[in-house]
Amino acid sequence: MSKVLIAGGTGLVGTRLSEILTNSGYAVVHLSRKKNPKAKYPTFVWNTSKSFIDERAFEGVEYIINLAGAGIADSLWTKSRKKLIIDSRVETTELLTSYIQKLETKPKAYLAAAAIGIYGDRGDEELTEASTIGKDGFLVESCIAWENAIRIAGEQNGIRTAALRVGVVLSTQGGALPKMMLPMNFFTASYFGDGQQWYSWIHIDDVCRMFIQLMKDDSLEGFYNATSPNPLTNKDLTKQLVKALDKKALVIPAPSAALRLGMGEMADVVLNSNKIFPARMEMAGFEFAFPEFKAAIRDLKAKKI
């Protein structure tokens, strides 16, 4: 039985990934900022401000998956919030690296989350891992710092390192989807701005299956786009969501100016356009269980995941 250590294991993706791994016969342990004897998975304390990890967390571990990071859209992007977003990703990566270097028996691989925000606002441009990264905006800035830390970790750890540039993760348990579904209780559904910006989405189970493929395939290294091969414009996605849920709703715009007024710079999260394709994962033989949006939504609704 292979043992997997997950940092950020209680987040949206971490929770589902832990379930899938356990059901597949893996042993899963978590890193947490607080002791929790009642946790579903064995939990070990870590503290980035004190540069501390309970070393027992690494015993017998074959794979480390780092999903830690403050929510990108949980609070307005003040100067202090921006610092927290970057530090929560970079410092956790650096802390894990410092401990991995000291291990007598190192894990087989270090895997991490990254984000498609690194491409920036690119309009209708079709983007793969071979495309240039973005130049402007906080999303690009934070993602560059994040990926630089992951690259350095790979160099210093001396083990296989790979990361997923995760798109808009679809789940009924959190993230963007419940927020998109909420207005439908009042018979409306909103797209943002003119709705022509591209959204690169992915079913939560496909993200988890990508991480498992990265674990299993020793040839996979570097950065991979974790998005469906079928991105949609925000307006089309909203219309398809209404149909997939069998709802009656008036599809209306939320003006860009109002979004900027209420969200400030953080409006980039919903207004940026990313038409992204998972070229490297498909070349690696990954097969999507849910490549089409409406089928993905219906599965999530039926399974309540």
Q: Which long-range contacts (CB under 8 A, 24 or more apart) does 171-175 make?
A: 171/12, 171/16, 171/204, 171/300, 171/305, 172/300, 172/301, 172/304, 172/305, 173/12, 173/15, 173/16, 173/304, 173/305, 174/12, 175/12
- Which residue type, as a one-letter code, is found at position 134? G
Residue-level pLDDT at 172:
97
Scored b (16 or more CB within 10 A) or e, 83-116 reads ebbbbbbbebbbbbbebbeeeeebbebbbbbbbb
pLDDT for 218 equals 96
| Alpha-carbon gap, residue 67 to 166, rounded angstroms | 11
The phi, psi pair for 154, rounded to 5°, reads -60, -40
- pLDDT string in tens for the chain (305-residue length): 799 999 999 999 999 999 999 999 999 999 999 888 788 999 999 999 999 999 999 999 999 999 999 999 999 999 999 999 999 999 999 999 999 999 999 999 999 999 999 999 999 999 999 999 999 999 999 999 999 999 999 999 999 999 999 999 999 999 999 999 988 988 999 999 999 999 999 999 999 999 999 999 999 999 999 999 999 999 999 999 999 999 999 999 999 999 999 999 999 999 999 999 999 999 999 999 999 999 999 999 999 99
- Note the Cα 146 to chain centre separation in Å: 13
pLDDT attached to residue 181: 92
Other residues' Cβ atoms within 10 Å of the Cβ of residue 119: 26
pLDDT of residue 169: 98
pLDDT value of position 37: 76
Dist CA 214 CA 106 (whole Å): 17
What per-residue confidence (pLDDT) applies to 38?
82
Q: What CATH number should be reported for the domain whose range is 3-303?
A: 3.40.50.720
Tokens linked to 25: 């016969």
pLDDT confidence of residue 211: 98
Question: Which element (helix H / strand E) includes 64?
Answer: strand 63-66
Closest CA relative to residue 230, chosen from 289, 276, 285: 276
Q: Of 99, 107, 91, 98, which Cα lies nearest the Cα of 149?
A: 91
Q: Please classify residue 118 by burial: count the beta carbons closer than 10 Å to its beta carbon, then call 0-12 exposed, 13-18 middle and 19+ buried.
A: buried
HSE-CB of 119 using CA atoms within 13 angstroms: 28
Chain centroid to Cα 204, Å, comes to 9
